[in-house]
Amino acid sequence: MYNIDRPVRRVRTATLALLAGAVLLLALAPLTQARGHATATAAKPTIVLVHGAWADASSWSGVIQRLQHAGYTVNAPPNLLRGLDTDSKYIAAYLKSIKGPIILAGHSYGGAVITDAATGNANVKALVYIDAFIPDEGESAGQLTAARPGSQLDPKTSFAVAPFPGAPAGAVDLYLTPDAVSKNFAQDTSTVIKARLASIQRPLASNALTDKSTAPAWKTIPSWAVIGTEDRLIPPAEQVFMTGRAHSKVTKVKASHVSLVSQPGAVSKVILKAARAEA
């Protein structure tokens, strides 16, 4: 005998199956979106920040906070400050550990380091120089500092000197005196920040000032730059010359040599411009 309940049960079963499928799709939707978001985030370049002399990676703290808020992966490896050849090779090796595109920024002496470290690395899509040296082949940081008037670094009064094991002949560690930090390094920061910067500074081996740059990456990689118009270490006029030679896209800010500390917002905006241009 024909059972009228059978097709009804079939309809109910099919309906329940459809409902179960719809519920499953809804449950998976956030996961799919999350995966899509992760993929989009991963596509962004990694931003690598290289600190300069008389500083450490904490000098980038305000910048890092803003770049991470914008959704970027940010790394700030140590700059050894032992000499340009050693330092640039160390950063070059570090860069090879990063997969995908890289935006590479350097502050002060860190600019000379990234100039050599990025050469030949196809993943480095942009260079960003913050109050930085941008040497050509055969040039040294000390040579560029003295090329134009404006630097207030006095070898007789600006440095505290200390020996270090394994130093090249005649080389010593150079620290900035608290007075030099206060008047010529970070003069636009608070008393508390000046004292902190003087306390946590890492020394620069004196031979780093005379080491000569090799093949410069800025000849093949586009660059951006921030120039602090109140810089008393690297003369702003020399920075204008170096950025012009490198065809950098320049932003000027009224800041000391440590614009990344005193004006992290302005510095972050320039790094983001470079990142977004090369994304």
Residue 26 lies in a domain: no
Query: Which whole-number Å values give the CA distances from 23 to 18, 140, 141, in the listed order?
Result: 9, 66, 65
Instruction: For residue range 210-225, list pLDDT tens digits in order.
Output: 999 999 999 999 999 9
230, 254 contact by CB (below 8 A): yes
Residue 103 lies in a domain: yes
């809804």: which residue's tokens? 26
pLDDT band, very low/low/confident/very high, at 18 (cuts 50, 70, 90): very low
Q: Structure pTM? A: 0.85
Of 73, 143, 85, the closest CA to residue 117 belongs to: 85
As for how many domains the chain has, the answer is 1
Computed over every residue of the chain, the mean pLDDT equals 89
Query: Has residue 98 got a pLDDT over 70?
Result: yes
Residue 237 lies in a domain: yes
Q: Tokens at residue 261, please? A: 């500390």
Residue 139 lies in a domain: yes
The C-alpha atoms of residue 223 and residue 124 are separated, in whole angstroms, by 11
Residue 270 lies in a domain: yes
DSSP 221: S
Residue 118 lies in a domain: yes
* Residue 219: CATH number of its domain: 3.40.50.1820
pLDDT (0 to 100) of residue 22: 39
Percent of the chain predicted with pLDDT > 70: 84
Domain around 58: 44-149+212-277
Residue 136 lies in a domain: yes
Instruction: For residue range 140-172, list pLDDT tens digits in order.
Output: 999 999 999 999 999 999 999 999 999 999 999
Residue 266 lies in a domain: yes
